[in-house]
Structure 1
């Protein structure tokens, strides 16, 4: 009887210890806070302005690129020295194409096709990337048009059409012609991009050209993408759709519809950007989407898998931005990204010792 009592006491102590350990793990908070250890003590800090944007391709037919002028003028007034865009780099696309088991057509659709430019230059993506970097290291203060046309085709071969467009826009209209490696087909590609309804084409590249920058930085990342097994496609889609069907999603959709309907009115586009960069927009993005999927109750935990993808994608995008800042410390960088990313961008960037965030509301006044 006494032995049984000792065993019972031992089991009770073990259970209590496990419970205490679980509570400790749940309550644990790290003592190290990078966001409270900002620097540097000497020299200018890195500054980052995150502009949450709508995808321009989804705006009403009445939208015209001229409506972006007040926005671009305000961004230009901040004078960024680097611009990061929501585009995948040529190098990442090159890597993803080599792994078709994981990355299917849905992911690769985000990648531009460098085939024609590769044929024109004789360079694959890694070689063209290296050549672009080599050219920029020795880039003259006043390049002649032939140099810009040549760098444009090198950027196209590197899978960086946004940067190619910057070079194209920096040419006088009379110099936007074939030659120096640019074929008539590639000129057509650049001309279509110049007017295509896309944030990189209509905001980032014109702004870079206006400011005298030579390139853009493609920081999007889809390496966390993975094809869903065929037998799970329908239940996965059903689970995520159910999670998204919530009151905040409906509020957010109605708000978005009102904002986009007014973009062609005086001040309408700026009003949309002010709204998309507000605390409300960031809170609703989480509540309607990522927070909802986190709590989605399917036995397979589909929502948590989706959330993992989203967090990894944003972490890697921010890591790409931090890499750009490390190339020239003290840089003022503008990051233009879909509005749902803004909260994650700022939260993760704020953890960096040598990054200071700039309030978009101040720039958009």
Structure 2
């Protein structure tokens, strides 16, 4: 999943600096829920993860353990509204699960249905803090009305919204997922993510710095994903990421992992 692993969230917090205020990769929710859980349990993060994975751990303790381990998405595999938890944590988990992104809408229900004991996180922002310090002009670009209008009018945005609305109206989320994994939208998403910056010439080459950060992030994510496949040799791994990541991740994995077969979503039709 496109979330930061718990040990990475903890590592970024220990690093401090720009990482201390990281607002991506699920870090804010993980830290917020971890702070609430630590009012009730004093495990280290590693102890909490081990307890969460132990088959004899009671459901309420498993939920608390995943929260302390900084992986609230895994807590949702066990949590239900009727589970006896401290009221503040129950409210926090309800708010977290009410956010209907692909984690809550797809990853958690599918993992539950398949009887999985955990979801593996493989997002990464290792280079982000160092490179963000070099980006002085880019934040101004994000406030430029013409630039943002171009973003919102791009095919990746407009056609994607249209397909999602039609799928929601028809109650056919699978149709949307097939479209969102198709070559056309993947290419449009990559063009939006990279072309929007390379089409500009910013002082100090900041447009190139931004794209380099994007490239590096995808390479790190591919490495984490490749490591996860080592846990399931000869098995299946379903990766859940934003559309713009799909092309870069597949390119890296194709280059470094000749034993992997990358399966298109269309191949799973009826499977």
State TM-score, norm by structure 1. 0.64
Answer whether contact 2:151 2:196 (CA < 8 A) is retained.
Answer: no
Q: 2:60 aligns with which of 137, 141, 149?
A: 149
Deviation at 1:185, TM superposition (A): 2.5
Q: Which residue is 1:185 aligned to?
A: 88
Q: 1:161 aligns with which of 44, 64, 72?
A: 72
Would the alpha carbon gap of residues 105 and 247 (structure 1) be closer, same or farther in structure 2, given more than 3 Å must change?
A: closer
Q: 2:125 aligns with which of 222, 225, 233?
A: 222
Answer whether contact 1:118 1:124 (CA < 8 A) is retained.
Answer: no
Report the aligned-residue RMSD: 2.8
Deviation at 1:337, TM superposition (A): 0.9
Residue 310 (structure 1) aligned with residue 214 (structure 2): yes
State TM-score, norm by structure 2. 0.84
Answer whether contact 1:149 1:168 (CA < 8 A) is retained.
Answer: yes
Q: Which residue is 1:354 aligned to?
A: 259
Deviation at 1:268, TM superposition (A): 4.8
Would the alpha carbon gap of residues 120 and 286 (structure 1) be closer, same or farther in structure 2, given more than 3 Å must change?
A: same
Q: Which residue is 1:290 aligned to?
A: 194
Would the alpha carbon gap of residues 353 and 243 (structure 1) be closer, same or farther in structure 2, given more than 3 Å must change?
A: farther
Deviation at 1:281, TM superposition (A): 1.0
Answer whether contact 1:244 1:293 (CA < 8 A) is retained.
Answer: no
Answer whether contact 1:259 1:272 (CA < 8 A) is retained.
Answer: yes
Answer whether contact 1:88 1:220 (CA < 8 A) is retained.
Answer: yes
Answer whether contact 1:97 1:108 (CA < 8 A) is retained.
Answer: no
Answer whether contact 2:151 2:157 (CA < 8 A) is retained.
Answer: no
Q: Which residue is 1:99 aligned to?
A: 15
Q: 2:2 aligns with which of 83, 86, 93?
A: 86
Residue 122 (structure 1) aligned with residue 28 (structure 2): no
Deviation at 1:132, TM superposition (A): 3.4
Query: Which stretch has the larger CA shift, 244-253 or 326-335?
Result: 244-253
For residues 162 and 199 of structure 2, what CA distance do their matches in structure 1 show?
Answer: 29
Would the alpha carbon gap of residues 118 and 278 (structure 1) be closer, same or farther in structure 2, given more than 3 Å must change?
A: same
Residue 259 (structure 1) aligned with residue 179 (structure 2): no
Instruction: Identify the structure with bigger relative contact order (alpha carbons < 8 Å, sequence gap 6+).
Output: 1
Of Structure 1 and Structure 2, which has the larger fraction of its residues in strand? 1
Residue 280 (structure 1) aligned with residue 184 (structure 2): yes
For residues 79 and 152 of structure 2, what CA distance do their matches in structure 1 show?
Answer: 43
For residues 117 and 213 of structure 1, what CA distance do their matches in structure 2 show?
Answer: 23
Would the alpha carbon gap of residues 238 and 119 (structure 1) be closer, same or farther in structure 2, given more than 3 Å must change?
A: closer
